[in-house]
Amino acid sequence: MANVLTSTGAWLSAPTKKTPFFARLFRAHLEARQRHADRVVAHYLAVHGNKFTDDAEREIERLLFRAGR
């Protein structure tokens, strides 16, 4: 929001320009990848007893890095 001074001397907030298309696209892509990673972690923990151990952390990292290729 941008601040605008009116003729009466009051400050108002005016909407700023819309976010560029590629910025919105990039943000949507990052959010989709985060949701996927969250699903992978939740599924792994549900299948393996909901215990987050060092071994589980290593296995989850392996799954996520393999999926990213």
Please tell me the distance from the alpha carbon of residue 46 to that of residue 69, in angstroms, as a whole number: 24
Choice between 56 and 12, residue whose per-residue pLDDT is larger: 56
Give the global pTM. Answer: 0.64
Residue 15 predicted with pLDDT over 80: no
For residue 5, the cross-strand partners are: 11
Q: Mean pLDDT of all residues in the chain?
A: 85
CB 43 within 8 A of CB 16: no
Tell me the CA distances in angstroms from 28 to 41, 49, 59, one per residue in order. 20, 32, 27
Quick: pLDDT tens for 32-61.
999 999 999 999 999 999 888 999 999 999
Query: Is pLDDT of 27 > 90?
Result: yes
